[in-house]
Chains A and B, each alone.
Chain A
Amino acid sequence: MKFDLTILMYIIPSVIMFCCGVYGFITRKNMIAILISLELMLNAVDINFVVFNRYLFPGQMEGMMFSLFAIAIAAGETALAIAIVINVYRVVKNVDIRELTKMKF
């Protein structure tokens, strides 16, 4: 039996992961759950960069480098977002986005 792992077979899980992230981003009410959905989307995009790099341009490493920098930026972004969530919790006493109606307290 001839069975090859084509580029499509790596992209499809990544598409599903991204759309799960979109679903969570729209439906969730909790700020931390929204952050988790955002991480899913970022991660799916990283997979795409790496897979296209490996299959289409195997001699270069631009895609891998882009993923590397995206991971670093995601780490910084998460740290800041969690600082904001904790600050919001201190003021409003929960992290529900429906309670957040004012920008400045």
Chain B
Amino acid sequence: MESVGNIIMYFIIALAIIVFSVLTVTSRKILRSAVYLLFTLFATAGIYFQLDYEFLGTVQIAVYAGGIVVLIVFAILLTHKPGERAERLTSHKRFMGLTAALAGILVCGYALVNFASNAASELSKNFSCDIRGIGNALLSTDKFGYLLPFEAVSILLLACIIGGVVIARKR
């Protein structure tokens, strides 16, 4: 049994996720859709905080909201005239999109409802995800250590920096 505040917070977050993700893909002004994406990402960070993953929520806000959305907004401002609207969808295209999305929801929903009978319903109490444990796991070479992926990500980010400069520079 959760506290009432927790449940109210959950409903706010879930409603925000659903409404803002629908608005993100249906808004015809591209800058608005980027702002709705920002709200969706904040609501996701809310889910992480609610599940006691404080570090992951912080990373979500810092990297997604602080980095990716800013990057997307810059790209939009560089490539669009202000106030420009996307043209209306053709009904054929909308039908295709709706079919794919609804089929996905139906299949996943069916699987989930079948799964729900034996689903875990309680958050277990013996849970600890402190920052010290995360740091030790990231830099250890033991069984549950992540040193190799950590270094691989650093190489990947370096490659992304170089690739971004090479692709976007003026010839």
Q: Count of A residues near B, CB < 8 Å?
A: 73
Instruction: Give chain A's interface secondary structure class.
Output: helix
Cβ of A36 and Cβ of B24 under 8 Å apart? Answer: yes
Query: A10–B146 Cα gap in the complex (Å)?
Result: 27
Query: A61–B144 Cα gap in the complex (Å)?
Result: 9
Smallest CB-CB separation from B160: which chain A residue?
Answer: A76
Query: A85–B170 Cα gap in the complex (Å)?
Result: 14
Cβ of B79 and Cβ of A6 under 8 Å apart? Answer: no
Query: A8–B10 Cα gap in the complex (Å)?
Result: 13
For residue B42, give the distance in angstroms from its CB to the closest CB of chain A: 11
Cβ of A4 and Cβ of B122 under 8 Å apart? Answer: yes
Cβ of B30 and Cβ of A33 under 8 Å apart? Answer: yes
A23-B25, A33-B86, A71-B59 known; A54 vs B163 contact (CB < 8 Å):
no
Chain B contacts of A74 at CB under 8 A? 63-64, 68
Chain A positions 49-73 with a Cβ under 8 Å from a chain B Cβ: 50-51, 54-56, 58-62, 64-65, 67-69, 71-73
Cβ of A61 and Cβ of B137 under 8 Å apart? Answer: yes
A23-B100, A27-B89, A55-B123 known; A87 vs B53 contact (CB < 8 Å):
no
For residue B41, give the distance in angstroms from its CB to the closest CB of chain A: 6
A8-B116, A82-B75 known; A27 vs B93 contact (CB < 8 Å):
yes
A5-B6, A72-B157 known; A16 vs B21 contact (CB < 8 Å):
yes
Chain A contacts of B119 at CB under 8 A? 6-8, 55
Q: List 24 A-B contacts (CB under 8 A).
A: A6-B121, A7-B120, A9-B10, A15-B109, A20-B25, A22-B104, A26-B93, A27-B89, A29-B87, A37-B24, A40-B25, A43-B44, A50-B47, A54-B51, A55-B123, A61-B129, A61-B133, A67-B56, A71-B59, A73-B153, A79-B164, A82-B72, A82-B164, A86-B78
**Top-3 shortest CB links A-B:** A24-B25, A76-B160, A83-B168
A residues with a Cβ closer than 8 A to B are 2-24, 26-30, 32-33, 35-37, 39-40, 43, 46-47, 50-51, 54-56, 58-62, 64-65, 67-69, 71-80, 82-87, 89-90, 94-95
